[in-house]
Amino acid sequence: MTQERLIKVEALTRVEGEGGLFVRLVGDRIEDVQLTIFEPPRLFEALLRGRKLEEVPDITARICGICPVAYQMSSVHALEAALGIEITEDIRRLRRLLYCGEWIESHALHVHLLHAPDFLGYDSGIDMAKDFPNEVNRGLRLKKHGNQLLEVLGGRAIHPINVAVGGFYRAPRRDELTPLIPDFEWGLQAAVETTRWLATLNFPDFTRAYDMVSLVHPDEYPMNEGRVTSTTGAAWDVRDYEREFHEEHVAHSTALQSSRGERQACYHVGPLARVNLNRERLSPTARRIADEIGFETPCQNPFRAIVARGMEIIHAYEEALDILRTYRPPTIARIKYEHRAGEGCAATEAPRGLIYHRYEVDAAGLVTFAKIVPPTSQNQRQIEDDLRDYLPRILTDDDVATTRKCEQLVRCYDPCISCSTHFLKLTVQRDG
């Protein structure tokens, strides 16, 4: 008789937010894989209704303490679309600069403190620091730079206060930004070192035929805009996002799960998708290092996402330096606008991947509808699918070892569970 066997990770660690993993096996056959998310729902889409649209970037930032800028950027672009606001090039550059800060901060944290310990056999980055003091200290310094940039430009690193619909409440003075340049010059070199080091890690031999999705912009590495593009070659205008990508509510999760197309297939968003789709638009140094370490694209090994993150840190530093060096405070920090009823959507690239927002606002400037699709919900089904494929290859009788390996795979996606619990159903429920 075949024994049923359960592998449970009660609480996934070194990820943002709280979730678990549940695998049911009968013999060697995998019956069920669930990425369970028990993060309590916070009902953001509901509580946004009736709020002033100016509050949206502040409120949505609170969805996630680790990538608040992604929420702020997506929401302001979506609202600007609804209000018909055209931002200036200056504001656009400052927004990219802010996003650079978040990418550096978020990637540096993930790479050094959350994921590298998996490859090197530690419980935490803090434990790892005993044997890898240079790497961890370098990572902390990189992370600090990201935070410093967020603090100068955003007012603070977590839940920045300077992001406004139409631009910024106040553009930083030159003397506030330029002192960052020496640190960023150091950081660019440090990020190169980090990436070289990451490339030496021991990656499990595991590749899949992913459908990877990210924004693609003809002139730049994607952050705030672009067409939603798949490695299959398909591409959509952001306004068509909801026609292609769907969400569904499953019992084991307080997050909604996304899927693509009529087949309801899973897909993969994040740094690996971005690098695969935009390699030639990485900054020169990032491209050079990619070549140097022999990073081949398309890369279909999820474990190598950590290297993609390294390259994105380099890119963010290099782009930030470019903006910092040439910075002149814009004459207009915030575009003036009138309230009007409307609808708008936008997608940007959070550190963890594509994030989509759509809002409806009324003539009084109040939000009447909000839909937010963060990256982790889009990856959730892909993660389960990966596990189904990966488990048979690593399965032994040692449950502890098995779960560790499963967790390592889950962490490749840097899942942000706090983010993933704010999904909106597809049809609007409105009273009256």
Partner 1 sequence: MSAEPKPKIGVFKFASCDGCQLSLLAAEDELLTVAGKIDIAYFLEATSHIDAGPYDIALVEGSITTPSDALRIRDIRQRSKYLITIGACATAGGIQALRNWADHDEFVRAVYARPEYIETLATSTPIAEHVPVDFELRGCPINRHQLVEVIVSLVAGRRPKTPSHSVCLDCKRRGTVCITVAQGVPCLGPVTQSGCGAICPAYDRGCYGCFGPAKQCNTGSLSQQLLADGTPAPELVQLLRNYNGYAPEFRYESERLAGLNSEVIS
Task: Give residues 90-129 in contact with partner 1 (rule: CB under 8 A).
Answer: 105, 109, 113-114, 117, 123-127, 129
- CB 276 to partner 1: min, Å: 28
Expressed in angstroms, the distance from the first to the final Cα of the chain is 58
C-alpha atoms less than 13 angstroms from C-alpha of 422 in its C-beta half-sphere: 28
Distance between CA atoms of 164 and 171, rounded to whole angstroms? 11
The two three-digit tokens of residue 228, written as one number: 């939603």
Q: Based on the shown chain and the rule CB under 8 A, indicate whether residue 75 belongs to the binding site for partner 1.
A: no
Name 359's bridge partners. Answer: 344, 370
Q: Based on the shown chain and the rule CB under 8 A, indicate whether residue 243 belongs to the binding site for partner 1.
A: no
Residues 126-145 that bind partner 1 (CB under 8 A): 126-127, 129, 136-137, 140-141, 143-144
Q: Based on the shown chain and the rule CB under 8 A, indicate whether residue 68 belongs to the binding site for partner 1.
A: yes
Q: Based on the shown chain and the rule CB under 8 A, indicate whether residue 367 belongs to the binding site for partner 1.
A: no
- CB 208 to partner 1: min, Å: 25
- CB 370 to partner 1: min, Å: 10
- CB 50 to partner 1: min, Å: 8
Measured in whole angstroms, the distance separating CA 260 from the mean position of its chain's CA atoms is 18
Contact pick of 5, 24, 170, 227 for partner 1 (by CB under 8 A)? 170
Q: Based on the shown chain and the rule CB under 8 A, indicate whether residue 246 belongs to the binding site for partner 1.
A: no
Name the nearest CA neighbour of 323 among 155, 109, 152, 87.
Answer: 152
Q: Based on the shown chain and the rule CB under 8 A, indicate whether residue 46 belongs to the binding site for partner 1.
A: yes
Distance between CA atoms of 342 and 193, rounded to whole angstroms? 48
Are the C-beta atoms of 258 and 221 separated by less than 8 Å? no
Q: Based on the shown chain and the rule CB under 8 A, indicate whether residue 47 belongs to the binding site for partner 1.
A: yes
- CB 246 to partner 1: min, Å: 11
Number of residues that bind partner 1 (CB under 8 A): 74
Name the nearest CA neighbour of 383 among 15, 5, 4, 3.
Answer: 15
Q: Is 51 helix (H, G, I), strand (E, B) or coil?
A: coil
Rounded to 10 deg, the angle between the 284-292 and 305-325 helix axes is: 150
Distance between CA atoms of 40 and 42, rounded to whole angstroms? 6
Segment lying near partner 1 (by CB under 8 A), choices 83-91, 94-102, 160-168, 379-387: 160-168
- CB 129 to partner 1: min, Å: 6
Q: Based on the shown chain and the rule CB under 8 A, indicate whether residue 8 belongs to the binding site for partner 1.
A: no
* Ordered DSSP codes for 195-220: HHHHHTS----------BEEEE-SSS
Segment lying near partner 1 (by CB under 8 A), choices 40-48, 88-96, 293-301, 349-357: 40-48
Residues 12-31 that bind partner 1 (CB under 8 A): 12-18
- Pick the closer one to partner 1 by CB: 44 or 99: 44
Contact pick of 120, 155, 181, 204 for partner 1 (by CB under 8 A)? 155
Handedness of CA 44, 45, 47, 51 (dihedral sign): positive
Letters for 275-314 (x = contact with partner 1 by CB under 8 A, - = none) are: ----------------------------------------
Q: Based on the shown chain and the rule CB under 8 A, indicate whether residue 401 belongs to the binding site for partner 1.
A: no
Q: Is 265 helix (H, G, I), strand (E, B) or coil?
A: strand
- CB 333 to partner 1: min, Å: 8
- CB 217 to partner 1: min, Å: 29
- Pick the closer one to partner 1 by CB: 9 or 277: 9
Q: Measured over all CA atoms, what is the biggest interatomic distance in the chain, rounded to whole angstroms?
A: 76
Are the C-beta atoms of 54 and 164 separated by less than 8 Å? yes
| Phi and psi, residue 46, nearest 5° | -75, -45
